[in-house]
Amino acid sequence: MSPGMLADVTATGPGAESRRAALQALDGPPFDLIVVGGGINGTGIARDAAMRGLRVLLIEKDDLGAGSTAYSTRLIHGGLRYLEFFEIGLVRESLREREILLRIAPHLVRPLPLLIPLYRSGRYPASLVRMGLVAYDALSFDKSLPNHRFLTRADALRRVPGMNPEGLRGAGLYFDAQADYPERLCVENVLSASAHGAAVLTRARAERLLVKDERVLGVEVRDLPSGRAFTVLGRLTVNATGAWVDELSGTLATPPGRMLGGTKGSHVVVDPFPGAPRDSLYFEAGADGRPMFIVPWQDRYYLIGSTDIRYEGDLDRVVAEPAEIRYFLEEANRIIVGAGLTPASVRYSYSGVRPLPYTSGTREGRITRRHILHDHAPLTGLLTVVGGKLTTYRSLAEEAVDHALRVLGRPRRRSPTGLVPLPGAAGEPGRVAEWLARERGLQVEVAERLAGLYGTRAAEVLRAAGDDPDLLRPLGGEAPTVGAELVLAFRAELAGSLADAFLRRTMTGLAGDRGLGALDAALEVGRRHLGWDAERSGSEAEEYQRALERYAPAGLPVGAGS
Ligand SMILES: Cc1cc2nc3c(=O)[nH]c(=O)nc-3n(C[C@H](O)[C@H](O)[C@H](O)COP(=O)(O)OP(=O)(O)OC[C@H]3O[C@@H](n4cnc5c(N)ncnc54)[C@H](O)[C@@H]3O)c2cc1C
């Protein structure tokens, strides 16, 4: 079937135009690049390739950023821990990228102070941590963030009064960065890719790589809303499906060996608790010496994680186990003695799979976090991305597109992505918030939220509100989301469902109430502004409830702490 014909049957309602345009583009000449996978790496590659003049198609089976990207610790970090394994190149690359992301996406990536408490019983002597931090600073000599410093025991306790004082010798204080919402980095990469001509199709699964005479010619794609299959041709296909990489490469007549060996990592989200630190804490778990984080998140909650467990299960249904949750709570209560965290303190949990290169026998924490680009020679027309952190997505994309230009015989053009800010990045978030509050009369809380999430694209939210002031009032619930954000998500940010809009556009679903307090008002916005009838509202609400199953521990209902 011709993909253009699909445009008639699958693209209706707000946002349908971009889907229709993407489906129609599939009828044109072969793409230069087909990127499979709309996580941070796939969207980064699509942006870079489109900016360097390639004709690009991005396909994603679910939603942008719905894979591992949505389930990480959300740090943009050099990887202090990797120094232990002498991964100097990776640390330097990550630190350079941290700086670039702070510059090209200041609304989405911000500096984060971290404190490493040093205990007498610790696995690493203070002198080694000190050496590590000195090396970290040396490897980020061109950074804008402050250098590390050491705190005496008294200073450390002054900074985090709740910290367990027993055996405490002092602490190292250093800076990394945090992307509260890497999901939105994906969205902004895609907005930029689309503005440079890329076609983007979500809910379209690559089912099979098409091969002829040792050459990958493209992919067979299934349009999930309609269930129909069609063929898309491209001169180079990039398998950027993260933890799913082996699934797609397994469709080759002669599949390569196993490339991916994922590990599962979980987190819990809690409200501020007695003794909660202002800074992030990076400490050794008492039970097994694993690195753990307690990170202030969304200016309102704390993220505690993570685990690192080899995983062979269903990649689309990864959830935290009650034992992991107990482990987080025990460790948090050990380091912050008065925290008093119990299973009832957990607002929700989430879990994802790190797409790591396959190794057998290596301890999880020792598996390299470096990415690998496989060109599959002597097969041509295929490039596979294995591994890759959030932090290094941009440099990975640059490397992939350099490769693409080479094999496509295109002139070398330098990647502009390190210099050209993401779409919402022009201007300072603080000043955008001030402008929204003062000039447009928005509540301060709403203005700050819009500036932090959308940067200067907050103006688009105002436009989406049109002349309906109701669309600029919070919907209710814990996140001060306004209705116009939903309208924008569907009309201009490729959201296809309420779950997309809540979990990966407006981020309402990551509030402590998981967006449930805003649900009814959101359905009303759907009815009034997006043309939803009662049936659509019902199915959106149901689908959203199903999506929330990822945010509850295994075997327990949504909302149960453990
Ligand atoms: C617990 C945990 C903590 C982490 N913490 C950090 C951190 O703090 N900092 C950091 O830098 N990194 C961190 N990471 C790593 C980082 O999150 C991932 O490496 C990164 O998000 C991977 O991005 P990706 O685009 O390769 O994969 P994904 O985000 O998984 O994207 C792949 C996409 O491909 C799609 N897909 C799969 N198969 C198909 C198909 N056949 N057709 C179409 N689409 C398909 C999927 O739906 C998915 O959306 C962490 C990861 C985890 C799990």
Q: Which residues pair with 151 in a beta bridge?
A: 171
* Contact assessment for residue 103 and residue 421, using Cβ atoms and an 8 Å cutoff: yes
For ligand 1, the distance from its centroid to the CA atom of residue 356, given in whole angstroms, is 10
User: Tell me: the pLDDT tens digits for 167-187?
Assistant: 999 999 999 999 999 999 999
The answer, yes or no, to whether residue 404 has pLDDT greater than 50, is: yes
Most informative mutation of 351, 354, 394 for ligand 1 (most atoms within 8 A of CB):
354
Most informative mutation of 238, 241, 268, 327 for ligand 1 (most atoms within 8 A of CB):
241
Query: In the prediction, which pLDDT does 56 show?
Result: 97
Q: Map 207-232 to HEC letters.
A: EEEEEECCEEEEEEEEECCCCEEEEE
Query: In the prediction, which pLDDT does 440 show?
Result: 82
- Domains assigned to the chain: 3-68+183-260+368-407 (3.50.50.60), 69-80+106-180+261-364 (3.30.9.10), 429-551 (1.10.8)
Close Cβ partners of 261 (under 8 Å, ≥ 6 residues apart): 310, 356, 357, 358, 359, 360, 367
User: Tell me: the pLDDT tens digits for 74-93?
Assistant: 999 998 887 777 788 889 99
User: Tell me: the pLDDT tens digits for 375-403?
Assistant: 999 999 999 999 999 999 999 999 999 99
Nearest atom within ligand 1 for CA of residue 385: 26
Consecutive H or E run containing 123: none
Taking the alpha carbons at both ends of the chain, their separation in whole angstroms is: 48
For ligand 1, the distance from its centroid to the CA atom of residue 541, given in whole angstroms, is 26
User: Tell me: the pLDDT tens digits for 250-267?
Assistant: 999 888 989 999 899 999
Residues 365, 286: Cα–Cα separation, whole Å = 16
Residues 475, 507: Cα–Cα separation, whole Å = 13
Most informative mutation of 63, 69, 248 for ligand 1 (most atoms within 8 A of CB):
69
The answer, yes or no, to whether residue 226 has pLDDT greater than 50, is: yes
Percent of the chain whose pLDDT exceeds 70 = 94
Query: In the prediction, which pLDDT does 381 show?
Result: 98
For the ranges 107-116, 366-375, 400-409, the lowest mean pLDDT is seen at: 366-375
For ligand 1, the distance from its centroid to the CA atom of residue 208, given in whole angstroms, is 20
DSSP SS3 for 297: strand
The model's confidence at residue 7, banded by pLDDT at 50, 70 and 90, is low
Residues 282, 532: Cα–Cα separation, whole Å = 46
* Contact assessment for residue 207 and residue 220, using Cβ atoms and an 8 Å cutoff: yes
For ligand 1, the distance from its centroid to the CA atom of residue 75, given in whole angstroms, is 14
Strands 31-36 and 228-239: parallel
Closest CA to 134 of 122, 118, 119, 150: 150
Mean pLDDT of 110-122: 95
Mean pLDDT for the chain overall: 92
Mean pLDDT of 193-215: 96
* Contact assessment for residue 91 and residue 233, using Cβ atoms and an 8 Å cutoff: no
Residues 363, 85: Cα–Cα separation, whole Å = 12
DSSP SS3 for 118: strand
User: Tell me: the pLDDT tens digits for 454-473?
Assistant: 999 999 999 999 999 999 99
Query: In the prediction, which pLDDT does 83 show?
Result: 78
Nearest atom within ligand 1 for CA of residue 390: 11
| DSSP code for 148 | P
Please state the length of the chain. Answer: 562
What DSSP line would sit under 226-240, residue for residue? TTEEEEEEEEEEEE-
The answer, yes or no, to whether residue 191 has pLDDT greater than 60, is: yes
User: Tell me: the pLDDT tens digits for 305-345?
Assistant: 999 999 999 999 999 999 999 999 999 999 999 999 999 99
Packed helices 393-407 and 88-104: angle between N→C axes, nearest 10 degrees:
100
Query: In the prediction, which pLDDT does 165 show?
Result: 98
Question: Whose alpha carbon is nearest atom 1 of ligand 1?
Answer: 265
For ligand 1, the distance from its centroid to the CA atom of residue 127, given in whole angstroms, is 35
Mean pLDDT of 358-366: 74
The answer, yes or no, to whether residue 9 has pLDDT greater than 60, is: no
User: Tell me: the pLDDT tens digits for 507-521?
Assistant: 999 999 999 999 999
Q: Map 330-380 to HEC letters.
A: HHHHHHECCCCCCHHHEEEEEEEEECCECCCCCCHHHCCCCCEEECCCCCE
The first and second tokens of residue 232, run together, are 């898309």
Q: How far is CA 90 from the centre of its chain?
A: 20
Query: In the prediction, which pLDDT does 555 show?
Result: 61
The answer, yes or no, to whether residue 554 has pLDDT greater than 80, is: no
| Rg of the chain over all Cα atoms, to the nearest angstrom | 23
For ligand 1, the distance from its centroid to the CA atom of residue 39, given in whole angstroms, is 6
Percent of the chain whose pLDDT exceeds 90 = 81
Question: Whose alpha carbon is nearest atom 49 of ligand 1?
Answer: 67
Query: In the prediction, which pLDDT does 481 show?
Result: 98
The answer, yes or no, to whether residue 417 has pLDDT greater than 80, is: yes
User: Tell me: the pLDDT tens digits for 468-506?
Assistant: 999 999 999 999 999 999 999 999 999 999 999 999 999
The model's confidence at residue 438, banded by pLDDT at 50, 70 and 90, is confident
Residues 323, 330: Cα–Cα separation, whole Å = 11
For the ranges 213-227, 314-328, 354-368, 372-386, the lowest mean pLDDT is seen at: 354-368
The model's confidence at residue 424, banded by pLDDT at 50, 70 and 90, is very high
The first and second tokens of residue 398, run together, are 């640059």
The model's confidence at residue 418, banded by pLDDT at 50, 70 and 90, is very high
Mean pLDDT of 275-304: 96
The answer, yes or no, to whether residue 8 has pLDDT greater than 60, is: no
For ligand 1, the distance from its centroid to the CA atom of residue 243, given in whole angstroms, is 7
List all residues whose CB is within 6 A of at least one atom of ligand 1: 36-42, 59-62, 66-69, 71-75, 77, 205-206, 240-244, 248, 265, 306, 352-355, 388-391
* Contact assessment for residue 178 and residue 110, using Cβ atoms and an 8 Å cutoff: yes
Strands 168-178 and 149-152: antiparallel
CA atoms within 13 A on the CB side of 104: 21
The answer, yes or no, to whether residue 560 has pLDDT greater than 50, is: no
The residue with tokens 């945010």 is 551
User: Tell me: the pLDDT tens digits for 21-73?
Assistant: 888 888 889 999 999 999 999 999 999 999 999 999 999 999 999 999 999 99
